[in-house]
Chain A
Amino acid sequence: MSLFRLKEKIIQGVFTVLAFSSLLFLVGIIFVLFKEGLPIFKDVKISDFLFGRFWYPTYEPPEFGVLPLIVGSFYVSLGAMFVCVPLGIGSALYINEMASYKQKAILKPLIEILASVPSIIYGFFAMAILAPFLQKTFNIPIGLCTLNASIILGVMATPTVCSLAEDALSYVPRSFREASFAVGATRWQTLIKVVIPAAGSGISTAVILGMSRAIGETMTVLMAAGGAAIIPTSIFDPVRPMTAAIAAEMGEAPVGGDHYHALFAIALALFLITFFFNILAEIISRRFRIKLGLSG
């Protein structure tokens, strides 16, 4: 074997190890989540944990009902969808279908910058500006509530949705549009009846990953959502999403105690939820590629 071939082999080996090391981290994280999360079920029934309505982890006796936290996470994230789906898909459509080359060159990077703003800055904005504004506008007792968190999370998830939806639209082959125009369809008809259905699963992937992004966001909801562990009945109720509970409490939970294990169990549930969303997105986007005749 020549020296050159040997060098080639070594480099290949190094990159193989690097590529698989992320797998190692993933396995490590899953292992720790199960190892530290499962012990709580020795003391608390799994049904009491998942469907209990009260979260009083530090009281004597403690109550570990995470239903309000799970509902809170979904409630806030669904609210965020009402912001990021129209904003994200709307801007993707504009960028892909209508914007001039120049506009596109400015808009796309700008939206992506939105994704790189640290989440604490969004949280700060929600707390200092948006919450007092909502409080005055809707005449509610306090601005730190689901609506506040949803709006800001929606803005945060917009780049994810926009960027992925725009990719999906750009994958729609030119021939689809040309065929549509050829039979006399207008630009609007082509967009609604040809391009969007063709990119449909790609757009769904974008929405699902946006949801996944929103549900996993921590700092912003910790600062903006009000933090009360209740099952919300209105968008003006405060909530305590799972991520906020973990972030606020992990530092104070005695290591190895029930509270500590309960927080890991919440993290495990959160991990499984986002894992499910990502798998779902992967399956849909694979189908999408096959449908468009792209390699899977």
Chain B
Amino acid sequence: MKTLNKILLTGLAVLSIAMPAFAEKIVVTGSTTVLPLSQKAAEVFMQNNPNADISIRGGGSGVGIASIIDGSCDIANSSRPIRDVELQKGASNGRDIKAHIVAMDGIAIVVHPSNGISALTKSQVRDIYTGKISNWSQVGGKNEKIVAISRDTSSGTFEAFMELVLDKQKVRPDAIMQASNQAIATTVARTPNAIGYVGLGFLSGDIKAVTIDGVMPSKETVLLGKYKVGRPLFMYTNGAPKGLAKDYLDFIKSAQGQSIADELGYVGLK
């Protein structure tokens, strides 16, 4: 009997060493725009909470929302609001999808630094991207063909641009399509007659942001709603977040989380 007790006790002791505490695990999937914020916040959060296990994946907004619908993730990152069809699909899967705004993203319209143009109106930008305006002289610049550079029509950034600037009109088919914000920034920096659009975090000395309807894109103008080409970034949960998902979301929304957003070039909400 004594031996049996000993064995049991040893077993318990081994178990308790192997699992010092119950480690909670969540999976976060979706938008590559939100990914850096999601990733950095998770790293800092896990340093402070060693028992938390947050696994972050990209894939894009569509993938994130599809995963929250089929239940393969706990939080979906998205750079666009969820669509009605997706909400319905979620509802028919028994999900009650809740939105959380975690930061703002401003989209700056950029040109090559040598370009004399430094102010455009939203409708001029729209006409450039739909093809109505094709020469810089039509907006007061040099007599040069405009090279319009866009994000892929499937990206969240394009979707925001299409709604905020294009009024859902079709982008000209011969616009150069790039797969990332960085690729647009690089291409605009190398192409004297180019125009492109990037998240505020991607602005640098190699490209020049123009004012839109007289407003320069910046953290302040985006948050105050003065600069019109900005958008909220979302995290979606199934029902009200609980446990680790709640703690993680609360952390991102906290002052520390929002200062991470600022450091990464997003527009923090605080």
Contacts and interface: CB of A to CB of B under 8 A. Distances in A.
Nearest to B145: A141
Given A59-B170, A142-B191, A222-B179, 19 more contacts: A54-B173, A59-B168, A127-B183, A141-B147, A141-B193, A142-B147, A142-B176, A142-B187, A226-B177, A227-B152, A228-B173, A229-B173, A251-B60, A251-B62, A252-B61, A252-B62, A252-B156, A253-B62, A254-B86
Of A55, A68, A222, A252, chain B has the most CB atoms within 10 Å of the CB of A252
Given A141-B191, A253-B62, A57 B154 contact: yes
A98 interface: no
Interface size class of A (residues with CB under 8 A): 35 or more
Contacts of A128: 186
Interface string B162-175: 00000010100111
Interface string A50-68: 0000111111100000001
A40 interface: no
| Chain A binding surface SS class | loop
B175 A57 contact: no
Interface residues of B, number: 36
Contacts of B124: none
Contacts of A54: 173
A255 B173 contact: no
Interface of B: 58-63, 65-66, 83, 85-86, 145, 147, 152-156, 158-159, 168, 170, 173-179, 183, 186-187, 190-191, 193-194
Contacts of B156: 252
A70 to B, nearest CB: 15
Nearest to B179: A248
Contact of B170 (A56, A144, A257): A56
B250 to A, nearest CB: 29
Given A226-B177, A230-B173, A238-B174, A254 B154 contact: no
Interface string A145-187: 0000000000000000000000000000000000000000000
A119 to B, nearest CB: 14
Contact of B187 (A57, A144, A257): A144
Contacts of A213: none
A60 B168 contact: yes
A128 B61 CA distance: 28
A249 interface: yes
B174 A230 contact: yes
Nearest to A55: B173
Contacts of A57: 153-154
Interface of chain B, helix or strand or loop or mixed? mixed
A128 B183 CA distance: 10
A227 B176 contact: yes
A248 B32 CA distance: 13
A227 B177 contact: yes
B173 A58 contact: no
B63 A251 contact: yes
A237 B154 contact: no
Nearest to A53: B173
Contacts of A127: 183, 186
A255 B86 CA distance: 10
Nearest to A238: B176
A251 B153 contact: no
Contacts of B86: 254
Contacts of A60: 168
Interface in A219-265: 222-223, 226-230, 237-238, 240, 248-249, 251-255, 257, 259
A134 to B, nearest CB: 11
Contacts of B58: 251
A249 B154 CA distance: 6
B190 A132 contact: yes
B38 to A, nearest CB: 16
Contacts of B147: 141-142
B173 A248 contact: no
Contact of A228 (B60, B155, B174, B193): B174
B154 A68 contact: no
Contacts of A68: 173
A135 interface: yes
Contacts of B154: 57-58, 248-249, 251-253, 259
B178 A227 contact: yes
Contacts of B194: 142
B50 to A, nearest CB: 32
